[in-house]
Structures are given as structure tokens and as C-alpha cells.
Structure 1
Amino acid sequence: MTLLENKIALVVGVANARSIAAGCAQAFANEGAEIALTYVNEKAKPYVQPLAEAVGAALFMPLDVEAEGEMEAVFAAVKARWGRLDILVHSIAFCPAEDLHGRVTDCSRAGFARAMDISVHSLIRMARLAEPLMENGGTILTMTYYGGEKVVDNYNIMGPVKAALEGTMRSLATELGPRQIRVNAISPGPLRTRAGSGIAHFDELIDAARLRAPEQTLVTIEDVGDMAVMLASDGARRVSGDIAYVDGGLHVRA
């Protein structure tokens, strides 16, 4: 018996086959889950389509969290097909480039608001829609980064945004816990993903992570997927409100 047999997983935030969310979707499928997958818009669809086919996604729908009604349509489709949801992966983060590449001190009001809405409030909205579909309990996972705890050079305003995401995760875990809905965050080390490449001097960040991590190796999306499977499985049924680090031990270094 596979770890996620008969479980329904909705994975949001796949940009292409090498994104963190893609690693989660593939790992879930490998462990027997049925997959619902989203893509942000028609331009992104061709980059996500191969993964949808690879995991046998039963639902493959657009979801731009800024587009009115698209999120509700996805959850309605999940309800219509399965009547329930067991696993939700929220792997979405965005900040306008002009604010991402500048000082926190100089971040615009509009850029900050947009980064918080897309990266954090979207998790709240998804949790609210997932709650009635998780009648028998479930798992909600979001993706964070060590820059939400400590100041990481060039991570800039996304540090405060990730800190807000982590606080939101803990509040959701507390509020949804009585319904046996667990909410956790995964904190991967630096990965060569499309999102990561938007950070200034990202190659330097990657090299430093490789040298400083106790395991002296870089994390892969497969490593993150394996952790997601573990947290979504029944073996982690008493784990909630936690941050699971997948960084080769990098976060323990001063």
C-alpha cells in the first residue's frame, strides 16, 4: 500500500517541471494520490502541461489568485469530481521586480500590498475554501524560506513577506486543528527554480548554501516532494503548525 493511496491532492503554484510544486505533485502521484493541478495563465500552460500528463492529473485548471472567481472555480471543480480534498499545497510567491530588488526601506506601498496578497492572503483564501472539503481532516502545506527568520542578503522584502506567511500558517493550524486539518510549512534551501532566479546574485546564494550546509549539497525538488509526502501522510497526523526544513542542515549554521 502506498502512503497516499486514495487521497486527493490539489497542488497550486507549478510554474514548470522543475518548480517546487512540481516536485510535490510528482511525489504525491508516486505514492498513489489523485492529483488536481493548476497553471497561472495560458502563457504558462504549455510549461505545466507535461507535468499534468506525467502525474495523470484528473483536473488541470487555470488559477491566477488575482483573477476574480478562478480560485473558487478550482475548488468547486474539486468538489464536483471527488466531493472532498485531503491535501492542499500552496506554493505561490510574488513581488514586483522593482520592489524585490530594492531595500525594504524603499519598498512601495503598492508593491508590498501585492506581495502580501499573492504570497500570504492567497493561503488564507485557499484554507477557507478547503475547510469544508476536508470533513475528515486533511493537510495544508505552504512553502517558506529561511529569509523569513533571518535577514538573507538580496532576499529583501520577501523576508518580511515569508515571516507573515509563517505566522499565518501557525494561526491557521490553531484554528483548523479542531477539525483535524493540519497546516505546516516546508522551508527548502536555495533551489534553481524560476522563482529563485528572480533574486539578485542568486548564484552566489546557491554557492554559499552548498559550502555552508552541513551535508554540503544542494536540495532538489525531489527532496522537497519527499518531505511533502511525509507531512501529508497519516504518519504525521500529530504534526501541525510546524516548519519542516529541507536544506541539508543549513538553517542551523550561525
Structure 2
Amino acid sequence: MANNLLKGKRGIIFGALDENSIAWKTALKVKEEGGSFTLTNAPIAMRMGKINELAAACNAEVIPADATSEQDLTNLFSKSVEILGGKLDFVLHSIGMSPNVRKGRPYGDMNYEWFLKTLDISGVSFHKVLQTAEKLDSMNEWGSILALTYIAAQRTYPDYSDMAQAKAVLESIARSYGYRFGKLKKVRVNTISQSPTKTTAGAGISGFDVFFDYAQMMSPLGNASSEDCASYIVSMFSDFTRMVTMQNLMHDGGFSSTGITEDLIQRLTK
């Protein structure tokens, strides 16, 4: 049931690829709650995905942008403010890609040029988004900017590879820029550490099904779905969370606070 939590609020949603994307689910939920927004993704991702279908369903305009390009981001924020009729209240950064993971390079034999690309796309791009928003004065006071992350930023998970470093950078940027943006404009900046989720990107990680099943057994509430994550994001965009900033928010069904569970003990008992 919609509650108009975002009535009159404007924003940008990065990273909607197809109906499995958390960003896709978020766009639908934001629309349901009364928000308006532009959609954006890298040109190559737009060719692979279905973002135009989402735009039609949400009555939203699509502005292609490479999140690593300051020029593209300047164009994105400027056009979004113009199209939406005013400054922004929310931004979702739902971006992540590792050439090393995608091309199967092991952690002990990484291509370092690809590693730097991973850091730029999956981590540093968040700083570029925040810096662009500040320089263009695109955010309203008490706005909310979020990025999606994963617990591998703090704990080691085989096969997550250099994405773990990128997410650690992302979370650090949220703390540092959260302080700055809070002092400047009362804008809050947070990351959401989501359960392993069956998105197109997530499924591309080797061993993902095992990650997913293990987390399901370790989480007293079970894995958080993409739909649940979209609802959490909406709450973080709303005025009910105005004093939450610089946080890495665990949205994982209790996984991050659980040592071992009965389900796992039963699975391991021989």
C-alpha cells in the first residue's frame, strides 16, 4: 500500500538494467510513493538492458551517463534538475563492475589496469557523483544520497575479488562525504549493505549460488529480497530518516550479526 512517502520529491536513479535490478525495483517503488526521477546508466548497459521499458512504466526520462565521466555526470545532474523542475531530494548509486571478475582472472593474477577500472566504476564513481551534485548545487537541504554495497567490503569472500576493495572505498567515501555534505547542505549520505541478491550482476560472480544459500541459512529472517531493499531505500529517501547519515546500513536479515545457526549446524552435522 502506497503512503506518498516521497510525494513532491525529485531524484536520479543509477543502474537499472532489467527487472532483476534493485535499481529497477526501487524506481517502481519510488514512483508508487509519489516521487519523480530521471533514470541513467552507462551507454553500453543501456544497450544490454531494458531501461526504456522502465522509463515508460514510470513516466521518467532516460539520460545516458558514464558514472566515471565528470562531463557526463555534469550533463546528467544539470538536465535532471531542468527536466524535474527543481533541485533534487534523492540519488541512488547502484553501480558495480569488475573486469577481473567478469573475465575470470584469479585474485593472485589480477590485471592491474582492470583493477583500477573496478575501483573507478564501483567506488570512485560515487565520489564523482557526490562532488558533481555539490559543485552544481543540485541537492535540496535534507536530501538523501545512497549507494549499494556488500559485506565483502569488511569480510573476505572468495571470488568477490577486487570488488571487495571497491566496496570498501565506496563505504569510506560515504563517511567522508557524508560529513562534508551534512555540514554544507544537511544532505545525508549512506550505504546499504544488501544480502546477496539474484540480480544480473550478482549472478555473474563465481559461486554466487553457494553465497546465496549460505547467507539464507545464516540469516534468521532469510535473505533480504530486492523488493525489500527497494522499500528500505524509499524509507531512507523519506523524511522519516532525516538524522541518519555516514552509516553503512546492514540490510541482510540479520546475517551480519549471526555467528552460526541451527540450520547450518544441521547441514554440517555428519
TM-score above 0.5, yes or no: yes
Q: Mind listing any 5+ residue stretches in structure 2 that lack a counterpart?
A: 260-270
Q: Kindly indicate whether residue 187 of structure 2 is the aligned counterpart of residue 184 of structure 1.
A: no
In the TM superposition, residue 153 of structure 1 has moved relative to its aligned partner by 2.1
Q: How many residues align?
A: 252
Partner of 1:245: 250
In the TM superposition, residue 253 of structure 1 has moved relative to its aligned partner by 2.1
Q: 1:150 aligns with which of 151, 155, 167?
A: 155
Partner of 2:219: 213
Q: 1:166 to 1:226 in 2, by over 3 A?
A: same
What per-residue deviation string (whole Å, max 9, x for no partner) do you get for residues 17-72 of structure 1? 21011122111111100021113226635511121122221x21112224573222
Paired residue type of 2:249 = A
Q: Say which is worse superposed, 219-228 or 44-53, in terms of deviation.
A: 44-53
CA contact (8 A) 2:89 2:140 kept: no
In the TM superposition, residue 98 of structure 1 has moved relative to its aligned partner by 5.3
Q: 1:99 to 1:38 in 2, by over 3 A?
A: closer
Paired residue type of 1:28 = V
Partner of 1:25: 27
CA distance in 2, matches of 1:35, 1:88: 9
CA distance in 1, matches of 2:228, 2:161: 26
Larger radius of gyration: 2
Runs in 1 of length 4+ with deviation above 4 angstroms?
A: none
Partner of 1:125: 128
CA contact (8 A) 2:101 2:159 kept: no
CA contact (8 A) 1:85 1:130 kept: no
In the TM superposition, residue 106 of structure 1 has moved relative to its aligned partner by 2.7
TM-score (norm 1): 0.93
CA distance in 2, matches of 1:75, 1:3: 23
CA contact (8 A) 2:70 2:128 kept: no
CA distance in 2, matches of 1:38, 1:53: 14
Between the two proteins, what is the percent identity of the paired residues? 30
In the TM superposition, residue 191 of structure 1 has moved relative to its aligned partner by 0.6
Q: 1:205 to 1:85 in 2, by over 3 A?
A: same
CA distance in 2, matches of 1:156, 1:39: 24
Partner of 1:230: 235
In the TM superposition, residue 239 of structure 1 has moved relative to its aligned partner by 0.2
Paired residue type of 2:192 = I
Q: Kindly indicate whether residue 99 of structure 2 is the aligned counterpart of residue 110 of structure 1.
A: no
Partner of 1:193: 199
TM-score (norm 2): 0.87
Q: Kindly indicate whether residue 46 of structure 2 is the aligned counterpart of residue 41 of structure 1.
A: no
Q: Mind listing any 5+ residue stretches in structure 1 that lack a counterpart?
A: none
Paired residue type of 2:46 = A
CA distance in 1, matches of 2:82, 2:161: 41
Q: Say which is worse superposed, 22-31 or 40-49, in terms of deviation.
A: 40-49
Paired residue type of 2:175 = R
Per the alignment, in what secondary structure is the counterpart of residue 37 of structure 1? strand
In the TM superposition, residue 133 of structure 1 has moved relative to its aligned partner by 1.1
Per the alignment, in what secondary structure is the counterpart of residue 183 of structure 1? strand
Q: 1:17 to 1:99 in 2, by over 3 A?
A: closer
In the TM superposition, residue 163 of structure 1 has moved relative to its aligned partner by 0.9
Paired residue type of 1:229 = V
